[in-house]
Structure 1
Amino acid sequence: LISLPIMLRYGYDRRLASGVIAASGTLAQIIPPSLVLIVMADQLGRSVGDMYKGAFIPGFVLTGLYLVYVIGVSLLKPQWAPALPPEARTIREPNGDSGLRSLGILFGLVLASSIVLSNNYSALLSWRAGHDVVAATDETIVVAMTFGILLSLALALINSALKLNLLSRMAERVTFALVPPLTLIFLVLGTIFLGVATPTEGGAMGAVGALIMALMRKRLDMRLLKQALNTTTKLSTFVLFILIGSTVFNLVFQGLDGRVWVEHLLTSLPGGVLGFLIVVNILVFVLAFFLDFFELAFIIIPLLGPVAEKLGIDLIWFGVLLAVNMQTSFMHPPFGFALFYLRSVAAKNDYTDKET
């Protein structure tokens, strides 16, 4: 709704613009706090926090691969992603400078301070406790990132309040724009990784934080709130009906010893664990063309989980692997939700910008 018209305005290829939006939107299904991971953890009998920790690095690796692909397309076919024209770069310093150097210096300072803190975090905890303390990796990452974000916000506020002109307008605006959503992410993920809140409590704090941000920016009214409640009720009803149907199916399937047949079939596949993983991923990929995520999670995953555990596969790793696979179901025709969402907000006719 926001990004597509802007990219089309400045000459981006339609295929690249729509593909980037649809593909990047599906990343929310595997990056915490993800509803997909919550359902997956429930079906595999593992904690949501462990599933979040397991998906943290793969999610960001996949994000990085998307970035590399877009950069590669931009270099190989620059006409598909042309540079922003000079007249569109509205944030400039009085001397005409873009302010990107100041932004780069601020980013480097924040990154360096976060790395220094992460390397010495265990030592700080040991000094405070009076004995050796080894901090968990996820806790160290969250604390270091939080420190970097707060440092950038403090520098931007001081520079703006005292008119020091040490930071450019670009650096200030980027900082003030990024800190609120990053704070929202910390309320959800940071509290979970630090052990302050359970995944349910973290999600609740994230929802409250999002409402507060919407109110502060004057983007929430009764019409939007009513629409959100209506959509949430429909989705919850939809999920509950699938859950009831899948439970009945599983009970009947188990009563007919279907689990035993499936277990014997999958454990007897050639190739052992590797053969099982290859067949399962192909099966899930094909089924995703016709079933959405909830149907796969409630019907297929309970059949595969016990077999994977019997073969000695870590269920957290197995769940993240299947979540990444099922993430593609949001882009599969004929039932790809990302495609329907994109089509609902895209222009029905050829796009013509009034300015360009």
Structure 2
Amino acid sequence: MIAVVGAGLMGAATAWQLARRGHRVTLIEAYDMGHKRGSSHGSSRIFRHAYADPFYVRLTGRASEEWRELEADASTPLLRTTGGLDLGEGRDPEGLAEVLAAAGVPYELLGAEAARERWPYLRFTGPALYHPGAGVLDADATVAACVRRAVEHGADVWSGVRVTGVDVRDKVLLRTADGRELAADTAVIAAGAWLPELGLPVALPRLTVTQQQVFHFRQREPDERWPVLVTKDARMQTYGLPSGSDGGPFPAMKVAEHDRGTPTTAATRSGVVDPSSRTRVSEFVRDRLPGLEPEPVAEATCLYTTTPDEDFVLDRHGPLVIASPCSGHGAKFAPLIGAMAADLATGRAEPHPRFRLDRSA
């Protein structure tokens, strides 16, 4: 029997992958399914291929296939293609174009004037890279689909059950706050921001948990079709994408800083939006995104869990598999990470060297 601790995007995807392969699975979640306390809630996350690192570009191709497999298995649309723009000197559109070209990913490299003609509701100060394969994925619907299909494939689900102890002998013994014990042959720990607090009998890399803020801005023209955006200049690094249901009934864009989160822990995060972030993002919208009203109509907080090198943690230590595909860019890989974690849990694959627990040793 394989236990999966945590039913966010990664844990839910892992449970789905394991159950559909015929394994006995128990999925354990400390809160209600689809809760808003961690990193996996909300209806809009970016999917994109544009990475400066060819390794992650290759992973996005594999992830795209897994997204379509999950959609087919769940009979649920989860990933909507919108196209994506990368702009700003810090994003290096020309360099990104070279990486995508080498990987065979379709793209266009446009000068500022040509980009303004195509997207007049954006302000361009230099070249921009456009790749049509980018889009928006629905995190809430993905978690729900993975959990539903895992159960339909035979998985057990413990919802509202917090794991308080993890003992490793020949097997894994999980203890819970309500007095239960569960013995598993293997346990996949996909606890997100709670991972550093579990007291696991394994050395973890340094994980930094931050509270991030996201803001939703109404489109001035409801019929305009916005791509996803990733921007970086000397002042800030931001991202934007069409809002889902959490952006309100009016067409809106979700815009946020990728950096400058407030250090916290999963247990102590305030949940209060940082007003300085609201000011910076609103000023960015006013300056660079004139097609949006510059005052947010909705806002929320979430958690990032970041490694020093921003690579993921996906490794096996004895009967434990540690899955922390984090650092603010993991959501797009969810069904692929589920497959990779399932392979580790069942002994079908070795961890990738870049994702090992001891890679910094």
* TM class by smaller structure: under 0.3
Q: Give the structure with the higher percent strand.
A: 2
Instruction: Tell me which structure has the larger Cα radius of gyration.
Output: 1
TM-score (norm 2): 0.24
Q: Give the structure with the higher percent helix.
A: 1
TM-score (norm 1): 0.24
